[in-house]
Structure 1
Amino acid sequence: MTDVLFYHLQGRTIEQVLPPLLEKSLARGWRVVVQSGSEERTETLDAHLWTYRDDSFLPHATSRVADAAHQPIVLTAEEGNPNAAMVRFLLDNVALPADAESYERMVLLFDGDDDDAVAMARVAWKQSKSRGFDVTYWQADAAGRWQRRE
């Protein structure tokens, strides 16, 4: 069964939140695809993941490179699963893909200060429940640690 995790961002950007979540995914041995809303956003994230920390980087590539199938993390603005990932991150109000059940985990990051993003997350929540997915909601506490909310 697919787990769908909703991460409610408030006061933090995707650029701040995404790298640690990707690090945890890699530590668990998961291959990941990150789908954003545009090629420009994909390119911006590509540059950010190489430089977000001075002492580390995340091994990744965009879906445009020839060896995308061999990358642990692939960034894309399209549907599809170029690296046979079991985890898919959805950013920028991207809808659940038609093949969502083929993933072990879907992670939707949404801006809680953006009414459109909240509305899209609610639609995705209802779709996830109706498709029989295990759905959880996460929000950061005052210290920035993710807490599961009911």
Structure 2
Amino acid sequence: MGAAYFYHLTRNPLDVTLATLVEKSLGAGWRVEVRGREDQTLQRLDASLWQREGFLPHGIAGGDHDADQPVLLTTGSGGNGASCVMAIEGADVTAAEIIAAQRVCILFDGHDGDAVAHARTQWKSLTDAGCTAQYWSEDSGRWEKKADTDDKKDG
């Protein structure tokens, strides 16, 4: 059973954090789906991933080889058999997806009040549905786990 990891971005931009998480996910042997809401954002991330140092194989959904992509950027869901979903821009994820996945990462802009409010709503609805969740913050300059629903179950 997977878990939802909420990443509260306050220091590094989305493309930097996303590239780091994608690299770690590929290193774990996972296929990744990056799920957004805007084609423009996915195109910007596509360009950023190609321009970074180090190769991260990926593609934007809608091509002939979506099922073969280790990392698929999409506004939909499914397509490459991903075991890790990275939701950006407030893209929806369901409790069933979290249970079926190795991991679901929800990345949100800590400088956008609407994005923070949406992440809080996602946290509540997913944990109320029984999903395990962690909240990570980079306020201190490095990523630190600030909340974990498993901690409440143990204590």
TM over 0.5: yes
Task: Give the RMSD, CA atoms, in angstroms.
Answer: 1.4
Q: Give TM-score, length-normalised by structure 1.
A: 0.91
Match of 2:81 among 80, 84, 104: 84
SS state of the match for residue 41, structure 1? helix
Residue 48 and residue 21 in structure 1: after superposition, are their counterparts in 2 closer, same or farther (change >3 A)?
same
Write the distance in 2 (CA, Å) between the matches of 1:148 and 1:12.
Answer: 16
- 5+ residue gaps, structure 2, are 148-155
1:13-39 CA-partner distances (Å, limit 9, x unpaired)? 101211011100001100000011211
Hey, which bits of structure 1, 4+ residues long, moved more than 2 A? none
C-alpha displacement at 1:70, in angstroms? Answer: 0.9
2:6 counterpart residue number: 6
Q: In the alignment, which residue of structure 1 is the partner of 2:119?
A: 121
Q: Distance in 1 between matches of 2:3 and 2:14?
A: 20
2:153 is aligned to none
Matched positions, count: 146
> 1:90-139 CA deviation, whole Å, 9 max, x = no partner?
00111224742332211000111111001100110011101211100011
Measured in 2, the distance between the counterparts of 1:112 and 1:16 equals 15
Higher normalized helix content (fraction of residues): 2
1:52 aligns with 2:52: yes
How far, CA to CA, are the matches of 1:37 and 1:51 in structure 2? 22
SS of equivalent to 2:130: coil
Normalized against structure 2, the TM-score is what? Answer: 0.88
1:28 match: 28
Q: Is the Cα–Cα contact under 8 Å of residues 11 and 139 in structure 2 kept in the other structure?
A: no
Report the Cα offset of residue 142 of structure 1: 3.3
Greater CA drift, 89-98 or 65-74: 89-98
* Counterpart for residue 106 of structure 1: 104
Unaligned runs of 5+ in 1: none
Compare 122-131 and 93-102 and name the one that shifted more: 93-102
Q: Is the 8 A contact 2:31 2:84 kept in 1?
A: yes
Q: Which residue of 1 aligns with 2:136?
A: 138
